[in-house]
Amino acid sequence: MAAQWVDDEIVPPGRDLKIEREAHKLEKRLCRETGRAIVQYNMIEDGDRVMVCMSGGKDSYTLLDILQKLQRRAPIHFDLIAVNLDQKQPGFPEHVLPDYLKSAGVPFHIENEDTYSVVKRLIPEGKTTCSLCSRLRRGILYRVADELGATRIALGHHRDDILQTLLLNMFFGGKMKSMPPKLVSDDGRHVVIRPLAFVPEKDTARWAAHRDFPIIPCNLCGSQENLQRKQVGEMLREWEKKFPGRVENMFNALQNIVPSHLLDGTLHDFTVLKATGVADSNGDRAFDAPEFAPAALPGLQVVRV
């Protein structure tokens, strides 16, 4: 069998054309959605030095891989440097990431800090370690960013992470708060970006499998089966199976906020509202039934009056 062309690429004989086509579509989608987030939120500018935080999980591998592709195509110049924090977890395969990053041709830095012992000493057995681990890791990465001259710190959080954080804050924190696609760090010295903000987790999982990344599991959080974040993630996946499009609608809602129809007086001054006799586009019509597509609310009838 002769070689064939698939989407401007030559496929050697013996390769599955259907798999190649699907992988090419996935790559285009990842690049498109990542590029859209970068442009929409002005995440990367000409001359930036982007520090890509590598945990060894599927999301950070995908982030680095897609940023490398965009780097070659972008109309601006920016540099990438991959950084891994070796937290000295027992059995951590410290050779895996350096070997991969060398093969990928990416400048990298491995920072060695025994945060594992700190977490195990301070957190009682069976309790959630992620909060303390995250704070320790964040402080170290900010320091490393300074030392490396990084102007952006890129994290691998995706769309599902953002929605999980929203629900966790609503359920347990009493706040309407999530993960912003771009923020200034607590110390005011660093810009943190999440280029995968528009990418669903299923796409990072598929890309990681296609690229056969050498995944490193997290022995701290991965062994905690009852984490609230994991349960919320399972709930979102179940919703997506039963009601396709619901998760996407939730994510779109984060980009379409109507402060006058919430209850936060710091965002909208309810105390000065008066009837003026002039129609208000943000009035009660925001709740009229025609605003909602029937398919988005299965089991409900739209009654027109």
In the chain, where are the structural domains located?
Answer: 4-253
pLDDT at site 26: 97
pLDDT at site 3: 46
Q: Which residue has the higher pLDDT, 61 or 225?
A: 61
pLDDT at site 163: 97
pLDDT over 80 (residue 5): no
The DSSP secondary structure of 55-99, one letter per residue, reads -SSHHHHHHHHHHHHHHHH-SS--EEEEEEEE---TT--TTHHHH
Measured in residues, the chain has a length of 305
The CATH architecture assigned to 4-253 reads: 3-Layer(aba) Sandwich (3.40)
pLDDT in tens, 253-280: 999 999 999 999 999 999 999 988 887 6
pLDDT in tens, 101-128: 999 999 999 999 888 888 778 777 766 6
* Contacts (Cβ under 8 Å, ≥6 apart) of 70: 31, 34, 35, 38
pLDDT over 90 (residue 159): yes
* Contacts (Cβ under 8 Å, ≥6 apart) of 256: none
Q: What are 86's two structure tokens?
A: 């070796």
